[in-house]
Amino acid sequence: MIHEGSTKMDTDPVLDVRGLTVKYGDIVALRDVSLAVPRGAVTAIIGPSGCGKSSFLSVLNRLTDMIPGCEVTGSVRLDGEPIHAEAQNLIALRRRVGMIFQRPNPFPTSIRCNIDVPLRESGVRRRSERNDIIRDVLCDVGLWDEVKDRLETSAQRLSGGQQQRLCIARALALRPDVLLFDEPCSALDPISSGVVEDLIQKLRNRQTIVIVTHNLSQARRLADYVAMFWNQYGAGRLIEYGAADRIFEQPVNHVTASYVDGTVG
């Protein structure tokens, strides 16, 4: 595996993954992946279907704990603290590491409740304070003007793109340190997809972002760093990782080279 010698990547990673292996029973989704996610940057994960990209993301907020038979080994540190430690508070971890899914998944409740319920659960007791946060995050995702008059209406009446932005707002409301996006645009039409992508551009300076995408031009537009995953010997591996320009312009690994050229994958 080739590592970039960049100082930013090595000195102060938010997430430091070492020797990560993920198994679902006999299926090895990821083998021996080591990767440091730089703080405040956008890291894109690219690679063909089934090479373990989603599995990698779900390890980072330990959503893998919800999947029976899923076995995770190796070490993951968030700000230096091992997230698989016995004492790790899962709920706190998931508030610090937010996740946006491929398919928008708002709760079947009103727009307000979608943000209000997790926010109240996270300990914001005062209603007025919650309402302020709801307005702020809806403004952040550019949804406020569209929905301010119908906060009490069903979130499932929103368009796909609006739903995805609501899900992002909902995650932002918890003030996470890291946001994980798992192909956030792939279930959306091109226009909504563009809106969501612009939104991620807007967030890039506030938040550490890890995004899985199948869309290489999107990765070029968004990413500071790119991690290339590939299936080798029946398991997902990280085959190249480095600054986005370098990966796209001068890939070292020939598989990466053909993949970013669009000749394989």
Ligand X SMILES: Nc1ncnc2c1ncn2[C@@H]1O[C@H](COP(=O)(O)OP(=O)(O)OP(=O)(O)O)[C@@H](O)[C@H]1O
Q: How far is the CB of 11 from another protein (least distance, A)?
A: 29
The answer to whether 12 and 39 have CB atoms below 8 angstroms apart is yes
Q: For residues 93 and 257, which CB has a smaller minimum distance to another protein in the complex?
A: 93
Q: How far is the CB of 28 from another protein (least distance, A)?
A: 21
Distance (Å, whole) CA 67 – CA 14: 25
The answer to whether 179 and 209 have CB atoms below 8 angstroms apart is yes
Q: Is 148 in the site for another protein (CB under 8 A)?
A: no
Name the segment binding another protein (CB under 8 A); options: 4-12, 14-22, 25-33, 106-114: 106-114
CB within 8 A of 246, min separation 6: which ones? 4
Q: Among 6, 34, 88, 109, which residue sits at the site for another protein (rule: CB under 8 A)? A: 109
CA-wise closest residue to 105 among 51, 180, 158: 158
Each residue 3-42 as x (binds Mg ion by CB under 5 A) or -, in order, gives: ----------------------------------------
Distance (Å, whole) CA 144 – CA 180: 23
Q: Is 207 in the site for ligand X (CB under 6 A)?
A: no
Residue 165 binding result from another protein, Mg ion, ligand X, none, given CB thresholds of 5 to 8 Å by partner type:
none
Distance (Å, whole) CA 129 – CA 250: 49
Token duo for residue 38: 């730089």
Q: For residues 59 and 141, which CB has a smaller minimum distance to ligand X in the complex?
A: 59
Q: Give, in order, the Cα–Cα distances in Å from 128 to each of 46, 168, 175.
A: 42, 21, 17
Give residues 43-82 in contact with ligand X (rule: CB under 6 A). Answer: 49-55, 67
Each residue 43-82 as x (binds Mg ion by CB under 5 A) or -, in order, gives: -----------x----------------------------
Give residues 10-49 in contact with ligand X (rule: CB under 6 A). Answer: 24, 27, 29, 49
CA-wise closest residue to 149 among 137, 136, 135, 161: 135
The answer to whether 242 and 35 have CB atoms below 8 angstroms apart is no
The answer to whether 114 and 165 have CB atoms below 8 angstroms apart is no
The answer to whether 164 and 197 have CB atoms below 8 angstroms apart is no
By CB under 6 A, name the binding residues for ligand X. 24, 27, 29, 49-55, 67, 236
By CB under 8 A, name the binding residues for another protein. 61, 63, 66, 68, 91-95, 98-99, 101, 103, 105-113, 117-118, 121-122, 150, 152-157, 167, 170-171, 174
